[in-house]
Chains A and B, each alone.
Chain A
Amino acid sequence: MNTATVVGTASMGAKFLGALVLTLKVLIYLFLMVMIGLFLMGIYRKFTARVQYRVGPPIWQPYIDVIKLLSKKDAATKNWVFDLGVIMGLGGPLALLLFLPLDTIVGLNFHTKGDLILILYLAVVGPLGFALAASVGASPWGAIGVGRALSMMLGYELPFILGLLAVVAKDGTLLLQKVSAAQSMWNPAGWHYFQWPLILAAIGAHIALQGVMSEKPFDQAIAPHEIASGIMVEFGGKYLGMMLLMKAASLMAELGLFAVFFLGGTTAWDTIVKIFALFIIAISFDAVLGRFRPDQAFTVLWKWPTIIALLGLLLTVFA
């Protein structure tokens, strides 16, 4: 065995070890994000219950639910595309999380390989997957749910995009790490949220965020009392369990994106704190507000938050 072979073998081994470490980091990161997301969902249930003078389930209830649902052996499926839709539904948000700067928590830097446009389009893979599964499910409730979810998406995307583009206009970049670096992490005066005229864009996007998260008054797509939970109607067992995981991952991605753009960017763990704060605000409104009709919600979203965000964008561009 000559020296070159030894070096070659060593470098192969090092490469393998490097790949293994990288894979572990990715898995740990995704696990962590989903776990925090489930914890947020637990807070949501407890918080809402307390606001409504109920005791509510324990905070760890979503973990119990997911374990129970994933271990059930009798979930109904209509077709293999139903299963594919669910896999796509969970896979999309997980891939999305890998492109967010939150990945610095475990020392990854995949977020430097994509930008805002990629994130906006990756964000729809998950919902589209579950919508496909709901469509395969063939229940009319599911179809109504999908119709409503997509209608809402059209509603909230406009103010949300206008808000984000105002930041792009100010910082002159679509790169999340640059948007992050353009703000000060802990000093709110250095956050985009509290800078004139970006505050207008932030408020517009923040209202839209309530729709992005499907919280009241924009939760028409779920609406358990009206349409039997809409998209989720045909989901049971592991399918519903995976949907809960998708919800957890999506929560982290949506709130994380907002925090990066408006709440001082991210270096790592600070974003988790900001995500908690944002979530508490969102569920506070959710707990006390009613639900709009779909047409009302759409009209509201394309009116007030859009006008506010557009004003913020125009003032930023012309500043």
Chain B
Amino acid sequence: MGMLTHWSVLTVPMVLVLGSILAALFGLIKNEKAKRVLQMISTTAAAAFALYVNIALVAGWKGVPKMADLKPFTVKLTETLTLSWQYYWITGTFAILVMGVLMFVLAYALETFKDDENTTPFYVLTPLLAAAIYMTLASVNLIALFFSWELMSFVAFLMLLYYDRTKEGGPWLYAFWSGVGAMSMIAGIFLFYLASDGKTGFGLFELMQTVPVLTIKHPYMTLAAVLLLGVPFMIKASIPPFHTWAPRTYGSTHPSVAAFFSAAYSKVGIFAMLMWVYMFVGTVMSGKWVTTLGANFRNMPTAFFILAILLAFGAVFTSLLAFAQKDAMYLLAYSSMGQLMYMVMALVLGIGITVGYQKDMNVTMTVYTLGFFGAIYHAYAHGVFEMAAYMALGAAYKRSGGETEFNKLGAYAHRMPVTFFMGFLAMLSTVSIPLMWGFASKYLIYQAALYGRFFVLSAMALIAGTASFLYAFRYIHGIWWGQPTKGYDFMHSVKEVSAWGIIIALVVMGLTVLGGAIPGQVLNFITGNAVNQMVMQSAMAGGPLLIDKAVYMVNGFSILHFGYLAILFTVGILVALLVYTTSGGSRKVNLDDFYNSAEPYRPEWQVQLIGAFYGPIERVIEPYFKVSIERVYNWLGGIFGWFASYIESWNTGDTRDYTWALAGLIVLLMVLWVF
């Protein structure tokens, strides 16, 4: 890999584009099977290459130059403004996740696209989207970020538009919010320009440092600039109140598209929020805002505390909404939103406490490290389990002829055990069962919240976690078990995924467990040893934190030995196995042979409880969901619509009327000017 010295930050996107072009060319092949396989090979190979390069750079493998030596890509627009894309460790950390998800989703797409679905747009556009995401992650300049961001949004829109499965307006909702985000970003950039009196070069790192100075000079303008800049980021990370597009967009598309969007694309929002939170700190802790937004409240600046509470509420609400869904795609969409809010909450906690809690440097550094890396690690955990959940659903989707509603699925695990297990492990990780990746990542976030003494916030996060059990079980029961809603004869025609699909499923399952068994090792690997360095710094300052290969510890506060956990969990299972094997035998009975408590069910009737699975508590919580931010938007939209209709009603259809009106206006202005 010594050749990497000649490569620039553009190498990876170019390879992805090449894969995309090849997929487009293979799209001309008439034989459907050959076409799909060749498209898959060309794009998966490009993704695998991209993944390898990023891992090699971040891990600093031998024979590979340091990431700082990778040539940046710059475009000089004016004397003061140069657009720049450059690779730095956080680019690599997020890029590994995006490219990994890309590779698995592309490879598994053979198992999720129905025979009558066209795969060419998927194989052409997904690598392009990944390339645009990569450019966004490598942007070191606001204008460069804007271009990459819009390219990304546009490619994503094309994908959604083509794979608009339910025709509920999901792509257009996405396009609308992307438009709002674009305008907001431009307005924010413009305000930065004004606040700096035209002297800014829009460098992201430069801005993070100069924001406090700008705030002192122009407090309102700088705050407005930061807030406006945050809008597109919050939209992408589906943070309330900018989240309303996500469920319908994720829910209405193809499972493989949703897998990439939810597992990888949404992480751009997390990446952007990471930078944004630093800028927000710079504003609220400077100038006139220090005494209001930056005033210390419960160990954090007030603005940060409000944001964290909002995010925790959001996580609880979306998790409650998730288990009430009747469609698996929507369920996973809401679940995804809840998990994203966890991540941003961890970032807000970690970064917020560095400026708010000044009593003890050790606490500050510990919570910062836990929150910051907890968010990144949970982004990975979420990437893997959400991808696996959507992929498994995609396989059932293909075999059921395109069904995603629970009342049209059920009992597929009898015919697809490996695929079920991928979905099952994904759900175990979602609900944070110990030894799963989702547990190892959420544990860091809980530690951060509790050690920072944010107890109510922690309780809310824990309850959101409990709610995740409900939706996880609905996913497991609704798709994979219970009675087959399409009848027993249909079930016999269902087949497990191919050997290729099984291999992918096994690798994904392995990853889910790997990230939960040796979290310290994995976390250090994906962050280029940044965690170790942070922990060492903390230790030198007398900090109590330890994130070792398989140990999490805040000395005197919390401890978790993953090695002991693995051994003792195995002991528990082995003892249960001992009881199982030494006790009496069993016989296998048919699926329709169940206890019906004297009810007149017949074997040919399928009695699958799905619709009202959580009916009683759905009725309890329903009134609290009447307050909907989407309704507020619709109401606002209605007002704009009414206003537009009103303007339209002026239209007389005769140009002369407008000419007279214009002339009258000019005369009026002249009269006003004279007097």
Which residue numbers of A lie inside 8 Å of B, CB to CB? 26-27, 30, 70-79, 81, 83, 86-99, 110, 112-115, 117-118, 120-122, 124-125, 128, 131-132, 135-144, 146-148, 150-151, 153-155, 157-158, 161-162, 165-166, 168-169, 172-175, 178, 228, 233-234, 237-239, 241-242, 245, 293-295, 298-299, 310, 313-314, 317
Contacts and interface: CB of A to CB of B under 8 A. Distances in A.
Interface stretch (B120-128, B248-256, B383-391, B579-587): B579-587
B541 to A, nearest CB: 20
A127 to B, nearest CB: 9
A114 B559 contact: yes
A242 B583 CA distance: 10
Nearest to A297: B616
Given A87-B573, A140-B609, A233-B595, A95 B568 contact: yes
Contacts of B433: 121, 124-125, 128
B568 A136 contact: no
Given A95-B572, A121-B439, A138-B483, A114 B587 contact: no
Contacts of B584: 70-75, 237-238
A40 to B, nearest CB: 19
B620 A137 contact: no
Contacts of A150: 469-470, 473, 614
Nearest to A178: B556
8 contacts: A97-B572, A113-B560, A139-B594, A154-B469, A165-B459, A175-B556, A237-B586, A239-B586
B561 A113 contact: yes
A72 B455 CA distance: 49
Given A73-B584, A87-B577, A293-B616, 5 more contacts: A79-B588, A89-B576, A90-B579, A114-B559, A138-B594
Contacts of A88: 573, 576
Contacts of B594: 137-140, 142, 233-234
B560 A157 contact: no
B675 to A, nearest CB: 65
B575 A298 contact: no
A23 to B, nearest CB: 8
B470 A157 contact: no
Given A75-B586, A138-B411, A157 B466 contact: yes
Contacts of B413: 79, 81, 136
B595 A234 contact: yes
Given A94-B576, A233-B595, A242-B580, A174 B586 contact: no
A263 to B, nearest CB: 22
Q: Give the interface residue-count category, chain B.
A: 35 or more
Contacts of A239: 586
Contacts of B458: 165
The B contact surface, by secondary structure, is helix
A99 B470 CA distance: 25
B417 interface: yes
B660 interface: no
B188 interface: no
B571 interface: yes
Interface string B598-638: 00000000011110011111011000000000000000000
B118 interface: no
Greatest chain B CB density within 10 A among A26, A91, A310 is at A91
Contacts of B469: 124, 128, 150, 153-154
Contacts of B614: 147, 150-151
Contacts of A294: 616-617
B664 to A, nearest CB: 64
A96 B411 CA distance: 31
B458 to A, nearest CB: 6
B576 A173 contact: no
A223 B433 CA distance: 27
A175 B557 contact: yes
B48 interface: no
Contacts of A99: 568
B443 interface: yes
B572 A94 contact: yes
A286 to B, nearest CB: 21
**In this complex, which of A89, A98, A148 has the most chain B Cβ atoms within 10 angstroms of its Cβ?**
A98
Given A76-B589, A137-B594, A138-B594, A143 B470 contact: no
A165 B165 CA distance: 45
A165 B556 contact: no
Given A113-B559, A174-B450, A26 B595 contact: no
B466 A238 contact: no
Contacts of B381: none
A95 B616 contact: no
A97 B595 CA distance: 33
B228 to A, nearest CB: 35
A151 B466 contact: no
Nearest to B613: A147
A97 B455 CA distance: 26
B432 A26 contact: no
Contact of B573 (A91, A132, A162, A299): A91
Contacts of A295: 616-617, 619-620
Contacts of B595: 139, 141, 228, 233-234
Contacts of B579: 70, 90, 238, 242, 245
Interface in B467-489: 467, 469-470, 473, 476-477, 480-483
Nearest to A114: B560
Contacts of B608: 140, 143
A137 B492 CA distance: 18
Nearest to A119: B434
Interface in B550-569: 556-561, 564-565, 568-569
B197 interface: no
Interface string B516-527: 000000000000
Nearest to B619: A295
Contacts of A148: 616
Contacts of A310: 456
B654 interface: no
B227 interface: no
B463 A158 contact: yes
Nearest to B481: A135
Q: Which of A88, A174, A228 has the most CB of B within 10 A?
A: A174
A83 B462 contact: no
A79 B557 CA distance: 44
B640 to A, nearest CB: 39
A241 B616 contact: no
Nearest to B601: A140
A172 B557 contact: yes
A101 to B, nearest CB: 14
A95 B588 CA distance: 29
B651 interface: no
Contact of B482 (A143, A174, A175): A143
Nearest to A241: B583
Contacts of B568: 95, 98-99, 110, 113
Given A76-B587, A117-B446, A118-B434, A299 B620 contact: yes
A146 B477 CA distance: 10
Given A74-B587, A113-B565, A295-B620, A91 B417 contact: no
Contacts of B217: none
Given A110-B564, A117-B558, A125 B587 contact: no
B207 to A, nearest CB: 37
B559 A138 contact: no
B583 A70 contact: yes
Given A140-B608, A151-B470, A174-B557, A161 B613 contact: no
Given A98-B572, A295-B619, A143 B609 contact: yes
B223 interface: no
B560 A118 contact: yes
Contacts of B411: 138
Contacts of A241: 583
B411 to A, nearest CB: 7
Q: Which 6 A-B pairs have the closest CB atoms?
A: A95-B572, A91-B573, A294-B616, A70-B583, A90-B576, A94-B572
